Amino acid sequence: MTPEREQKLLAVLQRRQPDLTLIAEQVHKSRNIAALIRNCDAAGIAEVQVVKPKEGYQQYRGTALGSDRWVDTALHDTLDLAIEGVRARGMKVYAAHFSEQAVPYREVDYTEPCAIVMGAEKEGISPRAAEQADRHIIIPMQGVVSSLNVSTAAGIILAEVIDQRLKAGFYDRARMPVAWIARKMFEARYP
């Protein structure tokens, strides 16, 4: 690695957010998973939670553009295990879900530790995930079609997360443990 590349990587790793993640619930298309990971990278998510689709998990391919090297994927057999994991790390759970209780996504405070649950392409968020979530959030839409593509929806919510966390200075100081940053730098040097 060149010193410039090393410096760029360190800067990125220092912007990673220990208290932010995304849970992909039964997202089937590997292309959508790849796009979700690319969006997670942009928001500084260090690890994305993937709940294995019932018919099995295919390794994603497509347009992650290498972001998957820098965003770890934690695979979970069930949604409950994914939620348990993020709760153990003190995170709130926000489900991107059309429901009576849903609030517009910009009304939520994303500087709190949080995990955002995104639903499957056809079925959306499961009843179980809807029940477990602390809040339901929606992106207001003005057209005929009733939902956005899952990765676009995630991108929009994460853009709001970035905005709030930029304002709060969360990307200005290293927030990950130094041991984690050092390990990642080491792995980058000796892949």
Ligand X SMILES: C[S@@+](CC[C@H](N)C(=O)[O-])C[C@H]1O[C@@H](n2cnc3c(N)ncnc32)[C@H](O)[C@@H]1O
Residue from 74, 139, 174, 181 binding a copy of itself (CB under 8 A): 139
CA 118, 168, 86, 91 dihedral sign is: negative
Show the CA angle centred on residue 157, arms to residues 155 and 162, nearest 5°.
Answer: 85
- Angle in degrees, 0-180, between the axes of helices 178-189 and 3-14, rounded to the nearest 10: 150
Residue 63's binding partner out of ligand X, a copy of itself, none, with CB under 5 to 8 Å set by partner kind: a copy of itself
Distances (CA, A) of 162 to 40, 134, 157: 10, 21, 9
Task: Tally the C-alpha atoms within 13 A of residue 164's C-alpha that lie toward its C-beta.
Answer: 18
Q: How far is the CB of 33 from ligand X (least distance, A)?
A: 13
Q: Has 148 been labeled as part of a binding site?
A: yes
70 touching a copy of itself, by CB under 8 A: yes
Helix (H, G, I), strand (E, B) or coil at 163: helix
CB nearer to ligand X: pick between 46 and 154 = 154
Residue 25 or 184: which CB sits closer to ligand X? 25
Helix intervals (H) in the chain: 3-14, 30-43, 79-88, 127-132, 150-167, 178-189
Name the minimum Å distance from CB 165 to a copy of itself: 8
Q: Is 166 annotated as a binding residue?
A: no
Provide the token pair at 51.
């709940």
19: contact with a copy of itself by CB under 8 A: no
Residue 141 makes contact with a copy of itself by CB under 8 A: yes
Binding-site size for a copy of itself (CB under 8 A) equals 38
Rounded to the nearest whole angstrom, what is the least distance from the CB of residue 81 to a copy of itself in the complex?
26
Residue 145's binding partner out of a copy of itself, ligand X, none, with CB under 5 to 8 Å set by partner kind = a copy of itself
Question: Helices marked H in 26-149 — which ranges?
Answer: 30-43, 79-88, 127-132
Note whether 180 binds a copy of itself by CB under 8 A: no
The residue type of 131 is: E
Identify residue 63 by its one-letter amino acid code. Answer: T
Q: Which residues bind a copy of itself (CB under 8 A)?
A: 9, 12, 15, 35, 38-44, 63, 65-67, 69-71, 106, 139-145, 148-149, 151-153, 155-156, 159, 162-163, 166, 171
